[in-house]
Amino acid sequence: MTELASSSRPLVASLDQVPVQDMALFLDLDGTLVEIAATPKAVVVPDDLVADLSAASKALGGALAIVSGRDLAEVDRLLAPLCLPAAGEHGAVIRLPNGKRDDVEAKVPDDWLAALFQLQQARPGVMIERKAHSVVAHFRNVPLEEELVRRTATEIVARDPEHFEILHGKMVIEILPRNVSKGHAVQRFMRFAPFRGRIPVFVGDDVTDEDGFEAAVEFGGVGLHVAESFGGQPQEVRRWLKRLAQG
């Protein structure tokens, strides 16, 4: 059985101590369920992932949610025809178990977007991904541009640091509204059935998932880091998910 690794001290020492019927499962997508690709649109969803997610959700009584940095529409496109409880843009958009949506009001200003798209044009390889409430600068294909991307994002956010902040991920920098986090998404889900009263398990691979780990621990659960608990391999997460679905 996979051992636990969390950003805070867990209240349970092994997943063996968390019966499936008592678990609330929160899953990151890129780098956790699917391998990271050169661009977000290049991600490949394994043939059996959707079926395994559906089966795992059924085994958990519906207490399974995707908590991703992706736009919620992109999550749904990748996992179609599934429409699971989910949080997009690190919790800026949350689809609750009853289907209702919680959206933050703040959106990245147009002039900030224009400045970032100018950077993309000036520095081939830098890719700007616009979302409903946030914007991401990818430099995976041009790592030497990291300093420039960071400096540009920092200068932009300095225009309104009260309402926006920078989130650093794997070869990406994201500008998003303050008080948005995967931890907030977990806390929101845990207020509603079928998540309420269960033991949360959050699986993620990036520093952007740390808030999710911490929220899970706050509710008496655990955070599993892909690097520490699954050898850094999303395929191992998928195998674990398949076993979970099968009981």
Q: Which residues are catalytic?
A: 28
- CB distance 225 to 205 below 8 Å: yes
Report the distance separating Cα 96 and Cα 73, nearest Å. Answer: 15
CB atoms within 10 A of CB 108: 22
Pairwise CA distance, residues 26 & 23, whole Å: 10
Q: Residue 28: exposed, middle, or buried by beta-carbon count in 10 A (0-12, 13-18, 19+)?
A: buried
Residue type, 153: A
Where does residue 35 rank: exposed (0-12), middle (13-18), buried (19+ CB within 10 A)? middle
- Three-state SS for 66? strand
199-204 and 101-103 strand pairing:
unpaired
Across the strands, what pairs with 24?
Answer: 200
Strand partners, 14: 3
For 144, what's the count of Cα atoms within 13 Å in the CB-facing half-sphere? 3
Task: Find, among 142, 137, 170, 139, the residue nearest to 154 by Cα.
Answer: 137
Count how many residues are written for the chain. 247
